[in-house]
Structure 1
Amino acid sequence: MLKTVLRFGLIIVALLVLFQLSNVSLFIPSLPADVVISIAAVILIALGIYLGGNIKKDKVIEVAPSHEIDVEKINSLGISTREMEVLKLIAQGLSNQEIAERLFVSESTIKTHVSSLFVKLDVKRRTQAVTRAKEWRVIS
């Protein structure tokens, strides 16, 4: 938030400087206002490129996924084979209806499995369930 405020503050200051530089042509009559504004614009663009290049971006560190599934963790959580199938399909981004069609069961059965998974993984949303399952190496 502070970076955003500072950036907008610098933009406002740059615009004010640009407007003040346009008044320079009043003191130097031989120099047209367009030339002064053009020179100021080039200087400010160069300054913006220089400062923009120095802004540090957040580094994204990707962790290589572990392909080993922790069977003991699955057993300790009490996740059934069908719930594992449902969890893998949730991780693929399928809706309850799509999962039901794939597994040849009703949508309410899938909702029951999803609710059971939420309790076992101690989460409240599908995305949290997938994240937690990957953290605990329940799915890859």
Structure 2
Amino acid sequence: MLPMSFNLKTILYYGAAFAGLILFIKWLQWKLVISGHSMEVFVGLIALVFTVLGIWVARQILRPKVETVIVEKVVPAAENSRPIDERTLKTFDLSSREYEVLQLLCQGFSNAEISEKLFISISTVKTHASNLFVKMDVKSRAKALDKAKRLRIV
């Protein structure tokens, strides 16, 4: 069964094109152009026709069906978001990776999820969290999150 994109008009067009090709080849034979190098010329003409046809079909198939539109939109910050207190953050002397772990902890991610997001092992996440707790002088994750939010460092 033919794909739906081929309609009767297209089929008739190709039929007429191939009929014209056959008539042209017969005319060349009649004029004795092909007689000396009959096989080479015949194969060359057929190869040329199928090359052109293949290029045309490939362009039809590869033509994009959907146009991609990119829309840029300004998204305002949440009203309840507070600016980060950079001065307080510097007093804790957190590394950039420890700060990333702290931000993800505040967003509620588990150690396994943080390791996937940051492409590090779970033990490395635990090490960063442990270093955070020492630098922030807290004993648990909940207290670290509470202190970070209270001091506005996340």
**TM-score (norm: length of structure 1):** 0.51
Q: Which residue of 1 aligns with 2:122?
A: 107
Q: Does 1:80 align with 2:80?
A: no
List runs of 5+ in structure 1 lacking aligned partners: 1-63
Equivalent position to 2:137, from 94, 99, 122: 122
The letter for the 2-side match of 1:71 is E
Q: Deviations over 1:37-60 (max 9, x none)?
A: xxxxxxxxxxxxxxxxxxxxxxxx
**CA-CA distance at 1:66 after TM superposition:** 5.7
For the residue of structure 2 that corresponds to 1:137, the secondary structure is coil
Distance change (3 Å), C-alpha of 1:76 and 1:89? same
Across the two proteins, how many residue pairs are aligned to each other? 76
Q: Which residue of 1 aligns with 2:112?
A: 97
For 1:21-60, list aligned pairs within 5 A.
none
Q: Deviations over 1:21-48 (max 9, x none)?
A: xxxxxxxxxxxxxxxxxxxxxxxxxxxx
Q: Which has the higher helix share?
A: 1
Identity rate, percent: 50
Q: CA RMSD in A?
A: 1.5
Asked which structure has the greater CA Rg, the reply is 2
**TM-score (norm: length of structure 2):** 0.47
The whole-number CA distance in structure 1 between the counterparts of 2:81 and 2:151 is 10
The whole-number CA distance in structure 1 between the counterparts of 2:109 and 2:97 is 15
Distance change (3 Å), C-alpha of 1:128 and 1:106? same
